[in-house]
Amino acid sequence: AHYVVVPDGTAAPTSAMVSAAAGGGTYTDADGATVTPAATASITVTAADTEYTDDITGLDGQTAYDVYVVLEDGDNALQSSPTKRELTTSDDVAPSFVTGYPLIVTDSVTASAFEVDVQSTETGTAYVLVTVDGQSTPSASEIQGASVTNVASGSVSITSAEVTFTVSFSGLDDITAYDVHVVLVDQASNDGSVESLDVTTLDATAPVVSSFELGTAAGTSVSFTVQNDEDSVVYAAIAPSTTAEPTSTQLKAQIPWVTPVPGDLNMRSETLVGGVSATYTFTGLQSETEYTVFIVSVDSHGNLQATPSTLSQNTTDITSPSWLST
């Protein structure tokens, strides 16, 4: 028995062509062109009504082929026409990511959320597992089943090759580093390699005032010392204590928030290093007057204290006594 394996749709060979290919690896078709089959061989049949098997190798995965088989008897007489069988090889090639993917969508990262974009070389499913930073990299099956300790998991169907698909995550902790593990699985259940990414959520916590106190009372000035828990900018103002309290936004704007504006209302902003106290002084004040110092802080991510911190102090009497009469 002789056989050839040719791509689906190839013009059917004659019995002589199949026999020729089995002996030399190629055959000449009816148009005079040389055809090189994907596979060809001969099987020695030594007994009638007995099944014989041959392994065909070297074919492409997920590809349709036509197989033509011809019998030849002991007198070298060939079957009048080949017997045709059709086959499609299975997909045994793992999917892979298009260059540059997967990736964390930079603009999507917030204090509690982010997105992962994927592109695949073939259709299937992308599975994503989010774990705490430093946890061991999970296997492809662990990612698919979310079967290891994780913070979040998700997936998206890849319905087109080389097209971007997105997996979104939310409800995460702010200022936290995470590992993001992604794997592709194609329609034939072939697992791709695991790709891992790093992401850190943004800061959503306003600075905390660790300490805030006023200095020793003076006649025309008030000093204050402040310390925050992180690098920040402190916006401060001083006004007579009869002045309405500003909101955090008004204080940060550093423009007068009341009318008429008290003549001794002063404002300033200073950069603070987290954990380090600093002292500042308002001058040009009236003596024997109660003043209130308002401060509010904002960090580099724009997180602003909800309400200002306030402290009040009376400036001292700096007028020397004098005789009313002698």
Domain contains 8: yes
* DSSP letters for 86-118: EEE----PPP-BPTT-SEE-GGG--SS-EEEEE
For residues 276-304, b (16+ Cβ closer than 10 Å) or e, as one string? eeeebebeebeeebebbbbbbbbbeeebb
pLDDT at residue 159, rounded to an integer: 97
* 46 and 118 both lie in a single domain: no
Domain contains 96: no
pLDDT at residue 321, rounded to an integer: 82
> In Å, how far from its chain's centre is CA 324?
81
Strands 27-28 and 2-7: unpaired
Domain contains 68: yes
CATH of the domain at 161: 2.60.40.4070
* 189 and 252 both lie in a single domain: no
* 242 and 178 both lie in a single domain: no
- Give the pLDDT mean for 138-147: 97
Domain contains 322: no
Considering 22, 53, 88, which residue would you say is the last residue of a domain? 88
Give tens-digit pLDDT for 241-269. Answer: 999 999 999 999 999 999 999 999 999 99
With a cut of 80, say whether residue 324 has pLDDT above it.
no
Provide the pLDDT confidence category of residue 91 given band limits of 50, 70 and 90.
confident
* 303 and 243 both lie in a single domain: yes
Give tens-digit pLDDT for 32-59. Answer: 999 999 999 999 999 999 999 999 998 9
* 238 and 305 both lie in a single domain: yes
Give tens-digit pLDDT for 191-226. Answer: 999 999 999 999 999 999 999 999 999 999 999 999
Query: Percent of the chain at pLDDT above 90?
Result: 91
Q: How far apart are CA 305 and CA 296, in angstroms?
A: 6
* 144 and 235 both lie in a single domain: no
pLDDT at residue 25, rounded to an integer: 87
Considering 161, 177, 200, which residue would you say is the last residue of a domain? 200
Domain contains 319: no
* 39 and 81 both lie in a single domain: yes
* 10 and 47 both lie in a single domain: yes
Q: Six-digit token pair at 163?
A: 């097209």
With a cut of 80, say whether residue 24 has pLDDT above it.
no
Domain contains 178: yes
pLDDT at residue 93, rounded to an integer: 87
pTM, 2 dp: 0.67
Provide the pLDDT confidence category of residue 326 given band limits of 50, 70 and 90.
low
Domain holding 259, by residue range, is: 209-314
Give the total residue count for the chain: 326
Domain contains 95: no
- Give the pLDDT mean for 279-306: 96
pLDDT at residue 66, rounded to an integer: 96
* 191 and 124 both lie in a single domain: yes
Domain contains 125: yes
- The alpha-carbon radius of gyration of the chain (Å, integer) is 41
* 82 and 50 both lie in a single domain: yes
The residue with greater pLDDT, 197 or 301, is 197
pLDDT at residue 146, rounded to an integer: 96
* 125 and 170 both lie in a single domain: yes
Helices (H), ranges, the chain: 15-24, 140-145, 248-253
In the chain, the number of structural domains is 3
Give tens-digit pLDDT for 172-193. Answer: 999 999 999 999 999 999 999 9
* 112 and 181 both lie in a single domain: yes
CATH of the domain at 251: 2.60.40.10
- Give the pLDDT mean for 285-303: 96
Considering 88, 111, 133, which residue would you say is the last residue of a domain? 88
